[in-house]
Structure 1
Amino acid sequence: MSEFARRVSAEFLGSLLLAALVVGSGIAAQQLSPSDVGLQLLQNALATALGLFAIILIFAPVSGAHFNPVVSLVDAALGHRAWRDVAAYVPAQILGCISGAVVANLMFGLPAASISATERLTAPHLLAEVVATAGLVLVIFALVRSGRGHLAPAAVGAYIGAAYFFTSSTSFANPAITIGRMFSDTFAGIAPSAAPGYIAAQLAGGLLGFALVRLFYPSAGQGVRAAQAKAPDPAAALP
């Protein structure tokens, strides 16, 4: 398998596991705590945060572990990745998330695909998706451009886990997972009528996040150089 095919395959499988994680933990939470929505959300968020940390660790050395078209677009716009990769990553991510939702449904004995009836389209939800996606982009690329990319798996997992609660939309922040979640009429699902609005808000959030990254980290290594400039020179203390 070529290096390019390996990267695209990693994005597909990683996206599949992400969707299986989000949808599967949502189904499990719904079954374990049928009368407590708050507890369902906590279970879904905790499983997603921990699982996302592990999935990123697995695939980051291969493809960068995007699993998200917005992240791939910003990565290319910042000059970190070729647009050829993005053109292949995005379909792989979408197909992976749809496949992951199907796998999650089957693991819990549900029909392979069931179109969600959960309506989520409100103005506060759309604002929440802009905020959630912009924050995700800022977390990822602030670390990458300041030489702290090794912290991204933990930081992304922590941010997404927190965003389940501080955003009214429960932080989809990903067009591919939004499409995938249409195919499961369960706790984590989203109605097809709401998906286009969510995706538009996520793209707007990605653009905002890109602008913030360029503002605070105008060049790769910016944060590293700034820290080095402020650090005391050990040689200055020598006689």
Structure 2
Amino acid sequence: MNTQKLLSEGIGTALLLSIVVGSGIMGETLAQGNTAVALLANSLATGCGLYFLISLLGPISGAHFNPVVSLRAFLRQELSTVLFLGYIAAQVIGGMIGVWIAHLMFELPILQTSLKIRSGLGNWSGECIATFGLLLTIGLGERFARDKIAMLVSCYITSAYW
């Protein structure tokens, strides 16, 4: 059963990252410099992708696809130490594979160094706030609307892009 969970996390994370990165590349290409259109395309593709991934893989692994979500499950004693570490490894490996897949699909160099500097108070505070919102969405969703988790998370992430 753990093999299924780890494969679910790895494959789900790979698919999610290929959607995020691929839709970002495609959005930039199609938007022809219109940042709002590119962001709209990227956020909608990500939200829709998350919905189907969480709906299909959630029953297998919980569909964490994010080490912080797995850390939450570990701290709540929903994952053993071994399974938690396995989830992190599957997510990191899946994430790298997903980015490589997107690069391959768009005929970009598989390994790249980002040209955009992503640091500073704005970026870090934005990431912390978005992660807090994700954990809050999951926590309240589990408590009050368990059957709607996939929709809640995908809608939250889509809105958090903006």
User: Is the TM value for this pair above 0.5?
Assistant: yes
Of residues 148, 151, 154 in structure 1, which corresponds to 2:151?
A: 154
Where relative contact order (Cα < 8 A, 6+ residues apart) is larger, the structure is 2
Runs of 5+ unmatched residues, structure 1: 166-239
Cα-to-partner distance string for 1:133-160 (whole Å, 9 max, x where unaligned): 011001112222x153221110000000
> Structure 1 length normalisation: TM-score?
0.66
**1:121-200 mapped onto 2 (5 Å cutoff):** 121-144=119-142, 146=143, 148-165=145-162
Matched, 1:119 2:124: no
Distance 2:32 2:123 in 1: 24
Structure 1 residue runs of 4 or more that deviate by more than 3 Å after TM superposition: none
Of residues 42, 56, 77 in structure 1, which corresponds to 2:75?
A: 77
Distance 1:50 1:105 in 2: 20
Of residues 19, 22, 26 in structure 2, which corresponds to 1:21?
A: 19
* 1:104 alignment counterpart: 102
Task: Name the aligned partner's letter for residue 96 of structure 1.
Answer: G
Runs of 5+ unmatched residues, structure 2: none
Cα-to-partner distance string for 1:47-86 (whole Å, 9 max, x where unaligned): 1011110111110011010011000011111222222211
Identity across matched positions, percent = 35
Across the aligned residues of Structure 1 and Structure 2, the Cα RMSD in angstroms comes to 1.0
Question: Which is higher, the Rg of structure 1 or of structure 2?
Answer: 1
**Aligned pairs, how many?**
162
* 2:59 alignment counterpart: 61
> Structure 2 length normalisation: TM-score?
0.96
